[in-house]
Structure 1
Amino acid sequence: MTLAERFMRFLCGCALLALVACAPTPQREGTGEYIDDTVITAKVKAALVADPDLKATQINVETFKGRVQLSGFVPAADIARAVALVRKIEGVKDVKNDMVPRN
């Protein structure tokens, strides 16, 4: 085996390792899923800010594999409105409501 063949095999092995390392698992997102979730989070935050009746700065948004988690201390009247608004956004698979009503 020549030096060039060894080098090519080494490069192919590194490329294969890089592809496997980026593969998604149930606990970890793949690169494409991470980008998709970032876009969904941005859409959710924009929709919350665009609604004049919601206090969007009090709502925290996290997305994992299309599932959006809302959290924060929010007026009780805003919780159902925020969840309904987020469910309408394209790409959202599920909404987990961890918002706590405050007086």
Structure 2
Amino acid sequence: MKYTRALAFALLAGATVLGTGCSVIRGQTSVGGYVDDTAITTAVKAKFVEDKTVDAGAIKVQTLNGTVQLSGFAKSNAEKAKAEYIARNTKGVREVQNNLAVRP
């Protein structure tokens, strides 16, 4: 009886983990798409850190289905344009929505 209960609990826990482990965020088409979007976000952020003209800490990057959204603050129009350029030229990016506000 003890073992049956433990086995049933283990199976239920395993089914729960498998069922929810593959879930994706709303609007995401697949787990693979979610992984790709995460890789794109990471690549864009890494390029921001490498580039000395872009303040990586002031810019938030979100990706959904290959569309990168930039939000936050830039110190100049040149920094805003450079951030968009970097994001646009990152592998896997289909579109960039530049919502950065220029704030001196």
Same fold (TM over 0.5): yes
C-alpha displacement of 1:30: 1.2
CA RMSD of aligned residues (A): 2.2
- The equivalent of 1:100 in structure 2 is 101
Instruction: Provide the identity percentage.
Output: 38
Map of 2:44 onto structure 1:
44
Aligned partner letter, 2:85: A
**Cα distance in structure 1, aligned partners of 2:62 and 2:39:** 11
Matching of residues 21-36 of structure 1 within 5 Å:
27-36=27-36
Alignment TM-score, normalising by the size of structure 2: 0.72
What are structure 1's unaligned runs of at least 5 residues? Answer: 1-13
Output one character per residue of 1:21-74: Cα deviation in whole Å (capped at 9) or x when no partner. Answer: 86998x233111000000000000000100011111000000000000000011
TM-score (norm 1): 0.73
Moved over 6 A (4+): none
| Structure 2: gaps of 5 or more residues | 1-14
